[in-house]
Structure 1
Amino acid sequence: MFDLVELFTHWQAGRSQVQLSESLGIDRKTIRKYLAPVIAAGIEPGGEPLGAEAWAELIVGWFPELEDPGVRASTWPLIAPHRDRIKGWLDAEVTVATIAQRLRDDHQVAASQSSVRRWIATHFAEEVARQRVSVPRGPVEPGSEAQIDYGRLGMWLDPATAKRVAVWAFVMVLACSRHLFVRPVIRMDQTTWCTCHVEAFEYFGGVPARLVCDNLKTGVDRPDLYDPKINRTYAELAAHYRCLVDPARAFKPKDKPRVERPITYVRDSFWRGRQFGSLTEMQQAAITWSTEVAGLRHSRALEGARPLRVFEAVEAPALITLAPRPFELSIWSIGTVGVDTHLKVGKALYSVPWRLIGQRLHARTAGDVVQIFAGADVVATHVRRFSGRSTDYSHYPPEKIAFAMRTPSWCRQTAQLVGPACQEVIAGFMADNAIHHLRAAQGVLGLRDKHGCERLEAACARALVVGDPSYRTIKGILVAGTEHGDEQPTGGRGAAATAGACLRGPDQFDTNLPVA
């Protein structure tokens, strides 16, 4: 907006409207519009000159809308009743676009976003200015900080699968030298996150003292300004490399500007217009690009210096030395123990002691081993499986697993301890459908607890003689105490088979029956 005081001062000094239009760049119709109240007030060119303050006072009276834009804004009276509500939203850092949308949808305020923006800028100028204040960071010490983030590169046609997949760039930037590491990935899971860190540390030849990352789940379990809860796998990585994880505040990209800005540069310089035959080829190309292109660019933040040269001269010697042994990647998960004493880890189930049924436990998978923790204590260790169950029967109450533990092999081995007759009986049970006859075999061997091995062996021999080595017959022999006698055993299939259909002798039948 042009300065009316300047316009009126030049006009009173005797300059024509044509001259004013040419020198001030104002249309002559506009000049006539603003000069109309001046002429009506009796002020003439060449008269006693007025000072700037006098002109300003007159302008407020003639054109109040210039002092208060709300005078000419038809929508401002609709916005004004919501002043307190808008202030609350601004205090909560709600954007102007969202404020305009809420006024329109929730309170039927027919005002455009630009009108709301102007109203807020006029009535809450201090609040708006406060939000825009940016405190410059001091210089970062060499080796003290790395900023980390993912950035989307685009879609890639994988020649191996002929499918289009989204490709993301893992980017780590050393805050002092601005030297960066880029690794394209197609997954952003826990394994990828930690693997990228290991590759970045190997690339730099050392570890920065502090890692500033986003609040993504693979790094942070619970965001908090003062006490964030770091993901256990990420915490193990930080402990292994002796560095600190310091997550940025949620939705505060300015907390890590050194990695936010290069994402666009990576996408434009490394990714666009290039073709890659495989993910491995892409990752190798990213290493070369990080060194030969990004590392040798002239950085305005470094006053034209090259990041790679600054890194080699200043930052590389300040990094923490790499650990002597490689980091063993572990995956932590959490689950609830079911009534079958098993906990799900990945797609497999692992048993834990039965007393932990219903509790939520942590599981750590590293290499081929799965460890399950109750607090800080390891309560179960299993060989890793990718499906199915891994069961340790010692995790069950003894009375619940008696049947499962006394397998056919156990029955055969125990029968050998009793004697050859018992061994023959058990072998008969196991000869056909061993699982179906397992209960009977367990029952026969269980008789030794009450009657002893010697009597059980004799009873088995007796049952074999009569041709009915069943559990019922052997038990009947032991109960009757006839394992060493000649009495016929009772209660078994052999007794019925030996006696035939008639259970009484011929002398007990009456042969002198009258004939009808």
Structure 2
Amino acid sequence: VPLHPEAVAFAGHYDYTIDVLAAYRPTGKGRVERQVTIVRDHVLAGRAFCSIEELDRAFLAWVPLRRKVTHRTHGEVIGVRARRDHQALRPVPSKPYRVVERHLRHVGKDCLVAFEANLYSVPATKVFHRQLVEVRTSAATVSLHATVPDSHGVTLLAIHPRAVGRGARIVDPDHWSALPDGHTRSTTSSREDHLPCHPRDRDREPSGSLRFLLARADAAKVEVGRRPLSVYDQISGISPFHTSPGPKDTT
């Protein structure tokens, strides 16, 4: 039976199992609803109350009488069975369960997660590009969780205050400390001492053609030969075009 994610998370937080009642099985559901009928018949029927406090006092006065009765299903005194059941219960978690909205989003290359037209950062050391994370939102905060717990069973990646409006970028600078800053990348420069070369070639002077190819400043100093366009006409066999005939040679 498909269950709502919030119902499953709530049951997991308080450590109990949801037992779904089979369809067309009125006896199972009746065990729960029967308690409503018992309270109504023994406490409320034929009485009027002026306040909630008066109703509570009437109910608390009836509870000891009810616990002395032998239950017809398990055959035990209700008060004795209740004490044993209470001793078997585990303590309530110190932190209450908070109902939040849950969404799935992908992590970008810059370790930012987009949600409602805003960006929130996650630690670069705990995520990778295109990783699917869960966004849990409340009225005041946005928490980002991994879909798979780590070795310590923790899924929380980051908590941010919820952005107001659209287009905001909420970033914790520590989340970007592991991102590359470019200082280890090979770059070209106009200075000869910054030219990239193999370690075994560091003691040798690079050739002129290689130096001109790698350094734009040096390449700009190359003297380029200049020749008239008529040279290309002679090479291609095309005679030059004249707009007017020249003077005749009389010699």
| TM class, shorter-length | 0.3 to 0.5
Q: Which structure's residues are more often helix, by fraction?
A: 1
TM-score w.r.t. structure 1 length? Answer: 0.23
Higher relative contact order (CA closer than 8 Å, sequence separation 6+)? 2
Larger radius of gyration: 1
TM-score, with structure 2 as normaliser: 0.41
